[in-house]
A and B are shown apart, each in its own frame.
Chain A
Amino acid sequence: MFSTVLLFREALYGALVIGVACSVLGVYVVLRRIVFVGATLAQISSAGIAFALWLAGTGLALGPLLRPTVMSLLLTLAAVVVFAGGARGRIPPDATIGVTYAVAAAVGILLIAKAASGEAHDIFLQGNILGITRGDTLVLIGVAVPVLVLHALFYKELLFVSFDRETARTLGYDVRRWDLLLYLTLGVVIASAMQFAGVMLVFNFLVLPAVTGLLLSQHMRGVFFWSVTSAVVAAVVGFSLSVPFDLPSGPAISAASGALVVIAWLGRRLLARSS
């Protein structure tokens, strides 16, 4: 079993990089109650991949735009700018996000139905974790490391504007710019991970590890620690079980994440009863 897992070690490395990056950003996604924004960005990113695959089939010579990751990144960043700006109007912001989610999902499926590529359907639905190469892992690291460095560097600023926007504003913080930074990093990570991990796994890494972290810790550092740890454990366990049992890797990792949430929840309840 171990040798079989080693055979796909690049895929495991890639999943770990995606898991670590998403689980750090996921703490903000969960605490700021923008889980639906995370899901919608993932869906838009996915639609971007579908759009690129469909365009490739039309024979149009659009150069780098035909690369799924490039198109995914462009569409996701466009959505990020809109979401970070906040909605102003009659329609509640979550309804706008809901509309975007539904439209992105529908358009993605329609485009993929007409895409020429035979593999397109699988990539669109589940990503292609096992197809991750050394080069892909390096690209993922190249995206994740600067994002994580930015988050470490500006931790207190991002925390402050997330926790108490009005007071941050009175101390001279440009809350919208910090929101934009958070959303941009979110968009870049989602778009770069989407082609490999798919909507479900990216969304899973954005939400479930952070929830595990919040269940296991009473302070921010602990939440980040447990969020990253649970993402790593879920990736290793889920992936290691998926290969020998011939299960799809993404859902196996997601199931492992779910199991960790349940274990954390039970552990917390037991602790609460005993104290």
Chain B
Amino acid sequence: MAPLVTFDRATLGYGRRVVLTDISFDIPEGDFLGLVGPNGSGKTTIVRTLLGTLPPLAGTVTRDHALRFGYVPQRDQVDYSFPLKVLDVVMMGRYDRIGLGRRPTADDRARAREALEHVGIAHLADRRLSDLSGGQKQRTLIARALVGEPTVLVLDEPTNGMDLVATTQILGLVRELHDRDALTVLMVSHALNEVANYVDRIALVVEGGFRIGTTDEIMTEETLTQMYGIPVEVDSFDGHRIVVARRRDATEAADRV
């Protein structure tokens, strides 16, 4: 089966500013890919290019003709001063399907309610968005992405600024959407430890470097040490992998022995 998206030796950036060069990877149907890297490493540039809002500076990015993205932006990208009900926000995910100058129909409303039910917050449909908790806001934005019936769900830092409970719930929900609906998912995050235990593959972007592989391939001390440029340890606890940066003094002591 042909991949949904293929980056072929793509150079990415803005105008004359090159952010990443020679990027090649593809996203097959049913993939659950984590795009991980520190802030400012180029994750957003990759996502924008993937979504088609930023053309590659060189190389090619090919998308399946029937591809439809469901985009979940970072929570702080949305303006909460707008007095909008949760249901109205979710309906926005269908605006392009509804068409220019047309109003949402009863069917659009029913689908929006279904999407809210899908993410477990149907009871909040008539609440004002700004009154919700961080996790509930994130679920609203996920419901909005789902109501457009996407082939690929793209989430930009979905757990940013959330506590442990909300983070676990949101990551669990995304995994559930992938497993239950066979949805292709791309999740962007700066937190490797959070993402590594939920995704099937990881694309690591660090200081211009790019490496992609299965979670097992990427989550090795050798790969991570090479990519991050500092010695790291990969431990396992109760089936979960945890990446720990080695303390400098311990590293130096080890070097001296």
Min CB–CB distance A43 → chain B (angstroms): 25
A166-B71, A219-B85, A220-B88 as given contacts; A160 in contact with B79, CB under 8 Å: no
Select from chain B the residue with minimum beta-carbon distance to A172: B96
Residues from 54 to 93 in B contacting A, C-beta threshold 8 Å = 69, 71, 73, 77-79, 81-85, 88-89, 92-93
Min CB–CB distance A47 → chain B (angstroms): 31
A164 at the binding interface (Cβ < 8 Å) = yes
Select from chain A the residue with minimum beta-carbon distance to B104: A156
B16 at the binding interface (Cβ < 8 Å) = no
Chain A residues with Cβ below 8 Å from B83 are 214, 217-220, 222-223
Which residue of A31, A156, A172 is within 8 Å of B98 (Cβ)?
A156
Q: Can you list 8 contacts pairing A with B, beta carbon distance less than 8 Å?
A: A156-B92, A157-B95, A160-B92, A167-B73, A170-B69, A171-B95, A219-B128, A223-B83
Q: How far is the CA of A214 from the CA of B148 in the complex (A)?
A: 30
Which residue of B52, B85, B88, B92 is within 8 Å of A167 (Cβ)?
B92
Chain A residues with Cβ below 8 Å from B85 are 219
10 additional contacts, CB 8 Å, given A164-B79, A164-B92? A159-B82, A164-B73, A167-B71, A169-B51, A171-B95, A171-B148, A219-B84, A220-B82, A220-B84, A220-B88
A100 at the binding interface (Cβ < 8 Å) = no
Q: What is B's interface to A at a CB cutoff of 8 Å?
A: 51-53, 69, 71, 73, 77-79, 81-85, 88-89, 92-93, 95-96, 98, 100-101, 103-104, 128, 144, 148, 154
Residues from 154 to 192 in A contacting B, C-beta threshold 8 Å = 154, 156-157, 159-160, 162-164, 166-173
Q: How many residues of A contact B (CB 8 A)?
A: 25
Chain B residues with Cβ below 8 Å from A31 are 79, 81-82
A31-B79, A31-B82, A171-B148 as given contacts; A163 in contact with B100, CB under 8 Å: no
Q: How far is the CA of A174 from the CA of B32 in the complex (A)?
A: 29
Do B53 and A169 touch across chains, with their CB atoms under 8 A apart? yes
Min CB–CB distance A178 → chain B (angstroms): 11
A91 at the binding interface (Cβ < 8 Å) = no
Min CB–CB distance A12 → chain B (angstroms): 31
Q: How far is the CA of A157 from the CA of B81 in the complex (A)?
A: 18
A156-B103, A164-B77, A167-B71 as given contacts; A173 in contact with B96, CB under 8 Å: yes
Q: How far is the CA of A170 from the CA of B152 in the complex (A)?
A: 12
Do A163 and B128 touch across chains, with their CB atoms under 8 A apart? no
Select from chain B the residue with minimum beta-carbon distance to A163: B82
Min CB–CB distance B111 → chain A (angstroms): 15
Do B73 and A166 touch across chains, with their CB atoms under 8 A apart? yes
Query: When A and B form their complex, which 8 residue pairs have the shortest distance between CB atoms, in order from nearest?
Result: A170-B71, A171-B96, A170-B51, A153-B101, A169-B53, A163-B82, A164-B78, A166-B73
Min CB–CB distance A271 → chain B (angstroms): 15
Which residue of B53, B81, B98, B104 is within 8 Å of A170 (Cβ)?
B53
Chain B residues with Cβ below 8 Å from A220 are 82-84, 88
Chain B residues with Cβ below 8 Å from A171 are 71, 93, 95-96, 148
Chain A residues with Cβ below 8 Å from B92 are 156, 160, 163-164, 167-168
Chain B residues with Cβ below 8 Å from A153 are 101
Select from chain B the residue with minimum beta-carbon distance to A165: B77
Chain A residues with Cβ below 8 Å from B89 are 163
Chain B residues with Cβ below 8 Å from A218 are 83, 128
Do B88 and A154 touch across chains, with their CB atoms under 8 A apart? no
Q: Please, what's the 1-or-0 string for A113-157, where 1 marks a CB less than 8 Å from any CB in chain B?
A: 000000000000000000000000000000000000000011011
Interface centre among A162, A164, A218, A220 (most CB of B within 10 A): A164
Min CB–CB distance A167 → chain B (angstroms): 5
Chain B residues with Cβ below 8 Å from A157 are 95, 100-101
Q: How far is the CA of A172 from the CA of B77 in the complex (A)?
A: 18
Q: How far is the CA of A169 from the CA of B54 in the complex (A)?
A: 10
Q: Please, what's the 1-or-0 string for A218-248, where 1 marks a CB less than 8 Å from any CB in chain B?
A: 1110110000000000000000000000000
Select from chain A the residue with minimum beta-carbon distance to B92: A160
Chain B residues with Cβ below 8 Å from A173 are 96
Chain B residues with Cβ below 8 Å from A172 are 96
Chain B residues with Cβ below 8 Å from A217 are 83
Interface centre among A159, A160, A171, A223 (most CB of B within 10 A): A171
Q: How far is the CA of A29 from the CA of B53 in the complex (A)?
A: 26
